[in-house]
């Protein structure tokens, strides 16, 4: 039986097409209407579903200052209850934002024919009910059979199982302040993907881990066969795989004339039989240094820029690891950047990985993949291109990756600093707690679904609570993120424990 929660009534200038108010039924069993709850009422067009956006308490006794003064002047509580039975006149109003109309093909069997926009307000006097789980799943667009179990719909006990295809087909973002639960949410998504049945179809996962937060997954017995950690201390960018324009990207001061000269040197090394096994930047520097025909200025400039790149200890004769070999369907490859402090080196690593992944995917040499980039504002900022080598390719994947089943997930604690070009292409957004008003405004500007009301609710979210909006669901919905199945060994370590461990280590 549907659970009745109130009656629609006229309040101020409501109901209208976009909102309707209802008086909440008083109950003694503790069941209350809360913000974020999905409700429905019968209208002239069908079943009108909405979400509770605001709750207001009214009491006629306390609307008159004279009454309040009399109430304050009497100190006997027993007399007060007789003179001022205020509790009997208190009532709560819920303001509901209308989401859509459901037209049933068979109301008894709850077979939905179609969902459409409302064009007529709710009727005053109509009864309001809680939306049942099976109806909500269809209305929101959850996939209860093959969906990713992220948690529970807020204010209810309904499971939130997100359709993987809808989430990954058009890219997504995870946004929150530091400590808001971004990494925890990504860990939950990765758990769902790695434990998924093979017949359901799972993409390869590549994760750029800036702080080493996900390396614990390689230590979980149930997952370690599907997780490979790549330490970038041992990573090599294959110099023979780079074209001359790649060097201009890494050293923007190189002129087009110098690029032409560099191209000749690279070609000479490729034609050298002794270098068939590959050549390094050091080989390139030697051949330029020994050339007596090139102009002095060009020579000195190329030598200086190539030597500077060589100091990064990143470029070698062959690619390592070989991207084709590590990107496997249903497996996770983590590139751990935790020990690297040079932001330029990290950007070159991300740029190279993104370029290689996208190139190989376009040629269908690797399976469809999900590329997750932590601290995305470092690698794809709104600032000028010269400060982010990896920005161009990330924006390219955001614009074009969908055509090749190359999904992108950007994680950031500062949406305002993230490239607006990339952010606008991330169709789904998982938004945890964000308090900065500039970040909230940036989100409202970049997504029509995020209204002022939603922005206010986002700023008051607790740890483990999020708003999911965009292509992944039909309508924005608040979710309580489930607990992880597998925990890191350092997850519950406190500051005092770390301090004591350090103290004991120094003592020994």
Q: How do residues 302-353 score in pLDDT, each as one tens digit?
A: 899 899 999 999 999 999 999 999 999 999 999 999 998 899 999 999 999 9
CA-closest candidate to residue 458, choices 483, 476, 484, 482: 476
Per-residue model confidence (pLDDT) at position 384: 61
Whole-angstrom CA distances from 80 to 71, 89, 134, 498 are 7, 14, 48, 57
Q: How do residues 21-77 score in pLDDT, each as one tens digit?
A: 999 988 755 567 888 889 999 988 888 999 998 898 888 777 767 666 766 666 655
Domains of the chain: 4-140 (no CATH), 160-232+330-496 (3.40.50.300), 243-316 (no CATH)
Query: Which 8-state DSSP code applies to residue 81?
Result: H
Angstrom distance (rounded) from CA 409 to CA 372: 5
The two structure tokens encoding residue 380: 């794809």
Decide if 340 contacts 366 (C-beta within 8 A).
no
CA-closest candidate to residue 315, choices 239, 206, 382, 248: 239
Angstrom distance (rounded) from CA 309 to CA 306: 5
Per-residue model confidence (pLDDT) at position 106: 64
Per-residue model confidence (pLDDT) at position 496: 77
Per-residue model confidence (pLDDT) at position 30: 58
- Give 172-236 as a DSSP string: EEEE--TTSSHHHHHHHHHHHHHTS-GGG---EEEEEESSS-SGGGGG-TTTGGGEEEEEGGG-B
pTM of the model: 0.87
Q: Is residue 326 classed exposed, middle or buried when 0-12, 13-18 and 19+ CB atoms within 10 A define those classes?
A: middle
Element (H, E) at 237: strand 237-238
pLDDT at 111 over 70: no
* Residue with token string 């058009």: 170
Q: How do residues 371-390 score in pLDDT, each as one tens digit?
A: 999 999 999 998 765 568 99
Residues 6+ positions from 75 with CB-CB distance below 8 Å: none
- Give 328-374 as a DSSP string: -TT-EEEEE-TT---HHHHHHHHHHHHHHHHHHHHTT-S--EEEEET
Question: % helix / strand / coil in the chain, to the nearest 5?
Answer: 40, 25, 35
């Amino acid at each position: 039986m549907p659970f009745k929660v109130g009656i629609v009534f006229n309040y101020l200038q409501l109901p209208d097409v976009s909102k309707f108010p209802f008086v909440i039924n008083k109950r003694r069993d503790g069941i209350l209407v809360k913000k974020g709850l999905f409700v429905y009422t019968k209208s002239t067009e069908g079943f009108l579903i909405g979400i509770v956006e605001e709750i207001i308490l009214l009491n006629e006794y306390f609307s008159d200052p004279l009454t309040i003064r009399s109430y304050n002047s009497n100190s006997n509580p027993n007399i007060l209850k007789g003179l001022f039975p205020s509790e009997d006149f208190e009532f709560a109003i819920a303001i509901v934002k209308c989401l859509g109309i459901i037209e049933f093909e068979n109301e008894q069997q709850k077979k939905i024919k179609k969902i459409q926009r409302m064009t007529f307000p709710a009727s005053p006097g109509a009864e309001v009910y809680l939306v049942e789980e099976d109806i909500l799943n269809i209305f929101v667009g959850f996939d209860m059979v093959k969906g990713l179990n992220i948690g529970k719909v807020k204010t209810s006990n309904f499971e939130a199982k997100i359709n993987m295809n809808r989430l990954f087909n058009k890219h997504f973002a995870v946004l929150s302040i530091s400590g808001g639960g971004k990494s925890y949410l990504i860990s939950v998504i990765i758990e769902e993907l790695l434990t998924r049945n093979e017949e359901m179809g799972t993409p390869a996962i590549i994760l750029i881990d800036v702080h080493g937060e996900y390396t614990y997954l390689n230590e979980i017995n149930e997952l370690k066969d599907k997780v490979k950690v790549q330490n970038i201390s041992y990573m090599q960018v294959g110099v023979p795989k780079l074209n001359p324009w790649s060097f201009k990207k890494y050293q923007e001061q190189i002129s087009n004339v110098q690029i032409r000269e560099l191209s000749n040197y690279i070609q000479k090394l490729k034609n050298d039989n002794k270098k068939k096994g590959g050549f390094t930047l050091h080989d390139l520097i030697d051949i330029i240094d020994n050339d007596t025909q090139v102009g002095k200025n060009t020579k000195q400039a190329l030598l200086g820029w190539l030597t500077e790149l060589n100091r990064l200890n990143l470029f070698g004769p062959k690619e390592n690891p070989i991207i084709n070999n590590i990107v496997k369907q249903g497996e996770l490859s983590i590139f751990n950047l935790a020990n690297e402090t040079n932001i330029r080196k990290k950007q070159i690593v991300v740029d190279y990985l993104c370029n290689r992944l996208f190139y190989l995917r376009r040629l269908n040499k690797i399976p469809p993949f999900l590329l997750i980039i932590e601290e995305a504002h470092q690698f794809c900022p709104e600032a000028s291109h010269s400060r982010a080598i990896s920005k161009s390719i990330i924006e390219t994947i955001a614009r074009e990756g969908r055509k090749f089943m190359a999904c992108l997930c950007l994680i950031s604690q500062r949406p305002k600093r993230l490239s607006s070009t990339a952010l606008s292409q991330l169709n789904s957004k998982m938004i945890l707690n964000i308090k900065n008003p500039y970040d909230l405004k940036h989100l409202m500007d970049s997504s029509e679904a995020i209204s002022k009301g939603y922005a206010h609710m986002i700023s008051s979210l607790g740890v483990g609570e999020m708003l999911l909006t965009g292509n992944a669901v039909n309508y924005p919905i608040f979710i309580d993120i489930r607990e992880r199945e597998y925990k890191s060994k350092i997850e519950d370590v406190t500051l005092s424990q770390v301090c004591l461990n350090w103290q004991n280590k120094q003592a020994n």
